[in-house]
Amino acid sequence: MNDIVLAIDVMGGDFGPKTTIEGISMASKIYPNVRFKLYGDKTKSLDQLKENSELNNFEFIHTTENIKADDEPVNALRKLKKSSMRLGIDSIRNSESHGFVSAGNTGALMAISKFVLRTINGIDRPAIAGVLPTMKGQTVVLDLGANVDCSNDNLVQFALMGDIFSKLVLGIKNPKIGLLNVGSEHIKGNLIVKQTFDDLKKISSKINFLGFIEGNDINKGNVDVVVTDGFSGNIALKTAEGVAELIFTFLKNAYNSSLISKIGYLLSKPALNRFKTRIDPRKYNGAVLLGLNGIVVKSHGATDAFGFSNAIGVAISLIENSYVNEIEKKIEI
């Protein structure tokens, strides 16, 4: 296994093989050194494979078992041992692949990954990390929903994992780390964030901890890593999505409200398209399950082929930069 081998769940996501295979095809052009292992129902994928005939650096592992979006994670783990998701994750443990990408059921992906791959020594719980656009570039936020209750130890581990992610994937030399809270003063917040604040201050030789930040700091770009528990992180992420949707809907209605404003829109369109590109959610697709003995990336279920190819890119970047080894080293220090 010299070249990178990436396992893919062809069946996951709202559009199944149609989107995933097209996304793999797109990614294979960007990453010619990567070999893909496709897990899924070959009969249901044939049309799509034909349509993307330029994709050839792959092997297809046929299985008819599939985890659906509404399957209980526990049931998926116990009963669906031949599913495309399970076989793909198994392939990492069996050293047949370096990582896995799926657009399927997040809860099942987390449960199976934890069970099959286990966490890295020194990491008690994996976290889901995602990248968001800011005024100055990008920031990584974790946890986005894997752990609704977190101890200060969990949060400190998230900070270390986010630090390495920021360095390896986003290329930030000395990532600035912020702890999400309801105020920036030290007296603010609950007991756990206060304790975490003190813990992070103690390891200032290991990380560049800036202190508490608030919700409106996430998009300012003053920090490169936002550390939070999965409850608040998930609410922040989804609230951000909802606000963006609200503003774009209102904006669209405004442009459509008169002929003059429609003409104005057409004139501004090239500039507006560049603006949209900057915050295109497909560009930020690919949430990473950090802290496992293996690279597992979750694509948004509703994304298109371009979005799916970006999730593949995130996985490859983590593999190329030996993310798991780097975390192990960081934890040992």
The residue ranges that bind a second copy (CB under 8 A) are: 72, 133-135, 145, 148-149, 180, 182-183, 187-190, 214-220, 228, 230-232, 234-247, 249-251, 253-255, 257-258, 260-261, 263-272, 274-275, 278-279
- Cβ closest to a second copy, residue 98 vs residue 282: 282
- Cβ closest to a second copy, residue 46 vs residue 263: 263
Taking CA 240 as the corner, what is the angle to CA 239 and CA 244, rounded to the nearest 5 degrees?
Answer: 115
For 270, the 3-state DSSP assignment is helix
- Cβ closest to a second copy, residue 51 vs residue 185: 185
Tell me the CB-side half-sphere exposure of residue 247, using CA atoms within 13 A: 8
Q: How far is the CB of 250 from a second copy (least distance, A)?
A: 5
- Cβ closest to a second copy, residue 52 vs residue 219: 219
Q: How far is the CB of 141 from a second copy (least distance, A)?
A: 10
- Cβ closest to a second copy, residue 1 vs residue 260: 260
Q: How far is the CB of 293 from a second copy (least distance, A)?
A: 26
Task: Please state whether 262 falls in left (phi above 0), alpha (psi between -120 and 50) or beta.
Answer: alpha
Across the strands, what pairs with 142?
Answer: 129, 227
Q: How far is the CB of 231 from a second copy (least distance, A)?
A: 6
Cα 303 from Cα 286, distance rounded (Å): 10
Q: How far is the CB of 232 from a second copy (least distance, A)?
A: 5
- Cβ closest to a second copy, residue 158 vs residue 323: 158
Give the dihedral sign, CA 176/182/188/193. negative
Q: How far is the CB of 171 from a second copy (least distance, A)?
A: 21
Q: What Rg value do the Cα atoms of the chain yield, rounded?
A: 21
Compute the 3-state secondary structure of the chain and give helix, strand, coil in percent, each to the nearest 5: 50, 15, 35
Residues 6+ apart with CB under 8 A from 26: 305, 306, 308, 309
169: closest CA among 302, 8, 314, 281? 314
